[in-house]
Amino acid sequence: MEQDDAFHLTAVDVRRYEFATVMRGYDRARVDQFKQQVADEIERLMRSNLELEDKARNFHEQLRAFRERDRALNEALISAQELRNEVKSQAKREAEIFLQEAEQQGARLRAAAQEEIASLLQEIEQLDRTRRAYLAQLKMFAERHLAEVAASEAERPFINASAAVERRLAANAAAAAAPMRVPAPATVVEPAVVIAEPPSDLDDGRYR
């Protein structure tokens, strides 16, 4: 700290200072009056200086508070900016992860749907093959049955004629075994020929 060599004078120093008296000197009353005025002015200046120093200290305190507040605001703004950037980055990362998961889920669902469609198509094809095979077997069975019915219908007249002959022979045998009597005029019985009607369950050559 530099040494202040300036002359320091207080109001008390002015009031206590005594001037030496000489012949033909200054008016003592006027000098005392001036000393009093100087002392009063020095006191006023000192009070004003103290007030100014108090104001300066207050201003310095306010300036320091303002600077601290400004620094705190800057730090808060920086923190808010960093937080905003972090939140933005985090939201972007989460959105990317969500999109990736959604794409993967969509791919899995598409693959599962394609597999299910392929399985259903295979089942439909298998059912169609089974249906065609069943219809072919049914057609074969119906044709064979129709052939058997047709053959049976063709043999029925001969079976009826044979039965009539057998009945006639039985009747003759019974007559021969009976007591002798005048026979009545014999009646010639013609073999019955029965024409079979086609079964009702046949329609246009197809068996129902």
35-75 residue pLDDT tens: 888 888 888 888 999 999 999 999 999 999 999 999 999 99
Residue 202, SS3? strand
pLDDT tens digits along 187-206 = 444 444 444 444 444 444 44
* Rounded-to-integer distance, Cα 73 and Cα 55, Å: 26
Q: Does the pLDDT of residue 1 top 70, yes or no?
A: no
Contact 73, 49 (CB under 8 A): no
What's the sign of the alpha-carbon dihedral 17, 22, 26, 32? positive
Of the ranges 88-92, 157-161, 171-175, which one carries the lowest mean pLDDT score? 157-161
How sure is the predictor about 15, in pLDDT bands with cuts at 50, 70 and 90?
A: confident
* Rounded-to-integer distance, Cα 87 and Cα 168, Å: 118
Q: What predicted TM-score, i.e. pTM, was given to this entire model?
A: 0.34
